[in-house]
Each structure stands twice: as structure tokens, then as C-alpha cells.
């Protein structure tokens, strides 16, 4: 029985994945961070935006079970 999977290309994997830039700046507003839940910010400077993202990702990893890793 052919379930159609024989004709699918193999997965490229992480080496071909590209993540868009997560940070952007708006003059007179501040720095913002893209997350899957939306845009977070504004932050006063880029280091604070990066600290927020680092904490956000650590919290996701600590609180989630392995089956929800697609959210990272």
C-alpha cells in the first residue's frame, strides 16, 4: 500500500533552517523582540531586549515538556 510518503523529499534539517532577525528598532519608541506569541517591547536598549529573549527562552525550556519543543 502506497501512503504517498515514498515520493516526499527527505527533510533538510537544521543546517538549512534560517531564523528571521528577532530584534528591531523603531526610532523614539525603542527595541522590540519577535516571539511566537507576538511582539514584545519596547525595551530601552538592545541588551535589555536580548536579556528578555534569553529569559523567555529559558522559561519555555524549563516549563515545557519535550513534546512542545516546536514552540522554541
Give the pLDDT score at 29. Answer: 97
In Å, what is the CA distance from 67 to each residue of 13, 15, 37, 63? 18, 22, 18, 12
Give the pLDDT score at 36. Answer: 84
Give the pLDDT score at 38. Answer: 93
Give the pLDDT score at 69. Answer: 52
Using one digit for the tens of pLDDT, what is the confidence trace for 26-43? 999 999 999 888 999 999
Q: Which candidate, 20, 21, 24, 66, places its Cα nearest to that of 46?
A: 24
Between 29 and 60, the more confident residue is 29
Does the CA dihedral 15-47-50-61 come out positive or negative?
positive
What is the rounded distance in angstroms from the CA atom of residue 60 to the CA atom of residue 43?
A: 20
User: Which pTM value belongs to this model?
Assistant: 0.60
Residue 9 confidence (pLDDT) above 70: no
Amino acid at each position: 500500500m502506497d501512503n504517498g510518503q515514498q515520493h516526499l523529499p527527505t527533510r533538510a534539517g537544521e543546517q538549512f533552517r534560517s531564523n528571521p532577525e528577532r530584534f528591531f528598532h523603531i526610532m523614539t519608541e525603542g527595541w522590540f523582540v519577535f516571539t511566537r506569541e507576538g511582539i514584545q517591547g519596547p525595551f530601552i536598549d538592545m541588551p535589555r531586549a536580548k536579556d528578555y529573549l534569553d529569559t523567555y527562552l529559558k522559561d519555555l525550556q524549563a516549563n515545557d515538556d519535550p513534546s512542545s519543543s516546536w514552540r522554541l
